[in-house]
């Protein structure tokens, strides 16, 4: 096979429109995501609400849209009432999920204020506790948050200083209820019934809410697919989305498989779509369930498990947990996961990078000190900025390489997005080769593009290079050399192990 990778783009062949919600993120009461992450009263950059304005600036640059909150595993033991009203009167609680003490200084009103300050592109995505709580508490939270006034709960919100309803449209019905680690873990049948009853009740308050049922915590769960089928058998007509969660990490000596992690992500998406559509067919329903990939990232979970077993936490406040420092290699894999989401934009219409600040995050902070961008910040920011419009159908012809986990895999992983207003096209591409540059040739049919605006690459001679407090700008995207656009053909060379953004106008 030729060593050049190729594909053809044609506006007649599309996957679907990119939902803005594909560029969501996730804020959980876990480690320092909230406290000394987004919220640090007394910090030199804190505003009147205690929000760090330096972090807000980075979040806006990142291009985050939907913000999922407050968990995550945390939500399955959370009492929403603890996080409303005067902060000084809020109770301190034990958080079983992360063996920490929760002060509740940051709660629902602060979260809504935070989302508003990100900007008009951001919207709340609120999870209800279906672990230790149920239908009644979900309804009470919905009424407190969204009802204008005139009831005890709505008037309580007004009395707490929030005259206007929060207008939350997007709700998660619990979190990872298939997981034995989850407080209040349930069988698929138990959860499916509870999710369906909660959904139907919430729609009695507001038929327009959009509801996400819990799917499998990952594709390797022993109940995978059977869980989705059972839950949707109960809840298909009552919900709009089913969730997917997936994290990837490099295992020692197998970087080649790590670079192909998106193969698993794409398989996961396609298997869940097949399961959803099978249930819909059995129910003879014209409705289509979409996917909310509301937790995804590179996460070195094995390190966390080893550390937590060696040093169990004794209920600290906002401990340093899951603060992975990401390398260039991690960022390339991360970019490939973004490509996987875009390639399935017809069905993945919500996605949340887990998480936003400090905890397996693209943004890091020091208490009282600086905030900086991790290597993974750049692929997300570029995809959010330039990956809006219609995803074009990309069928890659590429040289392959062998992986221990997935067999022979294409070196090129790519997608392309066209802005229907301007006609601009952006190609997102990853070269999975650790050692060799990859020539790329793209034929452009029916696309009115004549100008090469930019070819940006994220790569480094040191695959372990990373950004730190001492060197916050060690890794940034750089212009790639030798890219050309002539007579409807784009030619480029993708550097070894690189994330690439090629913009055409």
Inter-residue contact 260 to 332 (CB < 8 Å):
no
- Angle, alpha carbons 390-394-400 (nearest 5°): 150
C-alpha 38/C-alpha 448 separation (Å) is: 43
How many helices and strands, by DSSP H and E, does the chain display? 11, 25
Residue 228 catalytic? no
Tell me which H or E stretch contains 384: helix 377-386
| 351 three-class SS | strand
DSSP conformational letter for 488:
T
Calculate the alpha carbon distances from 166 to 126, 148, 162, 201, 290 in Å. 11, 9, 8, 19, 25
* Pairing of β 452-458 and β 498-504: antiparallel
The neighbour count for residue 220, using CB atoms within 10 Å, is: 10
**Cα dihedral 379/382/383/386 (nearest 10):** -160
Active site residue 295: yes
- Residue 27 near residue 67, CB atoms below 8 Å: yes
Q: Single out the catalytic residue among 28, 143, 176, 250.
A: 176
Options 123, 266, 295, 495, the catalytic residue? 295
**Chain centroid offset of residue 215 CA:** 15
- CA atoms of 431 and 497, how far apart (whole Å): 5
Taking the C-alpha atoms of residue 330 and residue 179, their distance in angstroms, rounded to an integer, is 26
Q: Could you tell me if 55 and 365 are in contact, meaning their C-beta atoms sit under 8 angstroms apart?
A: yes
Cα pseudo-dihedral 294, 298, 303, 305, rounded to 10: 20
CB 244 within 8 A of CB 215: yes
Active site residues: 176, 295
């Amino acid at each position: 096979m030729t060593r050049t990778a190729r594909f053809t783009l044609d506006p007649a062949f599309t996957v679907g429109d990119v939902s803005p919600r594909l560029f969501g993120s996730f804020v959980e009461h876990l480690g320092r995501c909230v406290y000394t992450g987004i919220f640090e009263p007394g910090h030199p950059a804190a505003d009147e609400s205690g929000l760090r304005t330096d972090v807000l600036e980075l979040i806006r640059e990142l291009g985050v849209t939907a913000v999922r909150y407050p968990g995550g595993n945390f939500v399955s033991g959370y009492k929403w009432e603890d996080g409303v009203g005067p902060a000084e009167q809020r109770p301190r609680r034990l958080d079983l999920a992360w063996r920490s003490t929760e002060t509740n200084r940051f709660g629902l009103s602060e979260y809504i204020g935070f989302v508003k300050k990100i900007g008009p592109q951001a919207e709340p995505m609120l999870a209800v506790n279906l672990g230790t709580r149920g239908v009644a508490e979900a309804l009470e939270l919905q009424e407190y948050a969204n009802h204008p006034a005139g009831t005890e709960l709505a008037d309580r919100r007004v009395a707490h200083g929030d005259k206007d309803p929060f207008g939350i449209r997007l709700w998660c019905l619990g979190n990872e209820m298939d997981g034995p680690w989850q407080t209040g873990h349930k069988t698929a049948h138990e959860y499916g019934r509870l999710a369906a009853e909660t959904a139907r009740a919430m729609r009695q308050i507001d038929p327009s809410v959009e509801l996400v049922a819990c799917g499998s915590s990952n594709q390797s769960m022993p109940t995978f697919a059977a869980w989705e089928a059972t839950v949707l058998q109960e809840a298909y007509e009552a919900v709009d989305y089913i969730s997917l969660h997936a994290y990837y990490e490099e295992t020692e000596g197998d970087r080649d498989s790590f670079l192909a992690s998106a193969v698993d992500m794409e398989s996961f998406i396609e298997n869940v779509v097949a399961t959803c559509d099978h249930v819909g067919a059995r129910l003879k329903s014209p409705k289509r369930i979409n996917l909310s990939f509301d937790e995804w990232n590179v996460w070195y979970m094995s390190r966390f498990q080893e550390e937590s077993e060696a040093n169990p936490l004794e209920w600290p406040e906002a401990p340093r947990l899951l603060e992975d420092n990401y390398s260039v290699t991690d960022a390339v894999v991360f970019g490939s996961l973004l490509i996987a989401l875009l390639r399935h934009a017809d069905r993945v219409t919500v996605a949340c990078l887990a998480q936003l600040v400090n905890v397996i995050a693209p943004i890091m902070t020091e208490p009282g000190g600086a905030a900086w961008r991790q290597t993974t910040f750049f692929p997300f920011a570029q995809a959010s900025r330039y990956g809006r419009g219609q995803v074009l159908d990309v069928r890659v012809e590429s040289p392959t390489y062998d992986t221990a986990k997935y067999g022979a895999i294409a070196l090129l992983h790519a997608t392309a997005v066209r802005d229907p207003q301007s006609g601009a096209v952006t190609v997102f591409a990853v070269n999975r080769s650790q050692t060799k540059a990859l020539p790329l040739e793209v034929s452009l049919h029916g696309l009115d593009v004549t100008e090469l605006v930019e070819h940006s690459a994220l790569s480094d001679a040191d695959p372990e290079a990373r950004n730190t407090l001492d060197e916050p700008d060690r890794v940034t995207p750089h212009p790639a050399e030798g890219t050309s656009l002539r007579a409807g053909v784009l030619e480029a060379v993708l550097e070894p192990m690189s994330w690439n953004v090629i913009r055409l106008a």
